Copies of this chain bind each other. A is one copy, B any other.
Amino acid sequence: MTENTAQLRADARRNREQIISTAREVFLEQGTHASLEEIARRAGVGIATLYRRFPDRHTLVRQVALENMALVRAEMDRATAEHPDAWGALAQLIRRMVDLRLGVFMPVLAQSLEGDLRGEGGTLKVRRNELLERMGALIRAAQQDGQLREGVTPIDIMLGTIKLSRPLPVIGAELNELLIAQQLELFLGGLHAVALDAAEPLDRQRLTLDDLDRYLKAAE
C-alpha cells in the first residue's frame, strides 16, 4: 500500500495478495497472535516468502489493517453513491463489511496496534477516526430520517460487524456462512427503526440438526 508494490514481479505481487487475504481470515479466526507459519501454509507459500515481504508480525498486521480500511472506505463510497437514503446506504455498508472479514480491525479500533500512533505519524489512528466520523454522519442522517434506532454509535456498528463475521470453530465454513447470514439479518432488523412485519419469516435457509452434522462432516 504505502510500499512500492507496483514494481514487484507479477508472481511476487500475486503471492503478496494471497498472503494478505489469508492473513485476514486467520487473524479473524484466531486473533493477531496466530502462527505465521500457518498463514504461510494456508496461503500456499513458503515461510520465507512471507518473511521477505513482511519482516515481522507487526508489519503484516499493519498492512492488513491498512488494506481493510481502504476497502471499507471504498465500500462507503459505493454505498452512499448507490443509495440516496442514509439507512439504505448504512445497511448495504454493514452487509459488505461483514463480507469483508474485518477481524484485524479490532486492534486498530482499540489503538492497540503497537508501533503506530507513536511514530509513523499515527496514520492508522487518523484513518480510523476518519472512518468512524463518516460512519457517524451516516448514522445521524439515518436517525433523522427516522430509519435507525436511537442510541447506536459507530463503535456499536464496527464491533457488532466484527463479531458477526467471526466464525465459530469446529463447525466448518459453510455452516458459518449460514449462521452469519442469519445473524446479520437479525442485527439489521434490530437496528432498523421501522416496525417489523410480525408474520414475516426470517429470510434465509433454515438450519436443522441434520445440516449441522452434514456440514461438520464435509468440513473435516
Contact = CB atoms under 8 A, between A and B. Distances in A.
A103 to B, nearest CB: 9
A163, A204, A213: most-surrounded residue (chain B CB, <10 A): A163
Contacts of A200: 149
Interface residues of A, number: 54
Interface stretch (A14-22, A62-70, A104-112): A104-112
Contact of A170 (B31, B154, B160, B179): B31
A58 interface: no
B156 A182 contact: yes
B186 A159 contact: no
Nearest to A187: B186
A12 interface: no
A199 B132 CA distance: 24
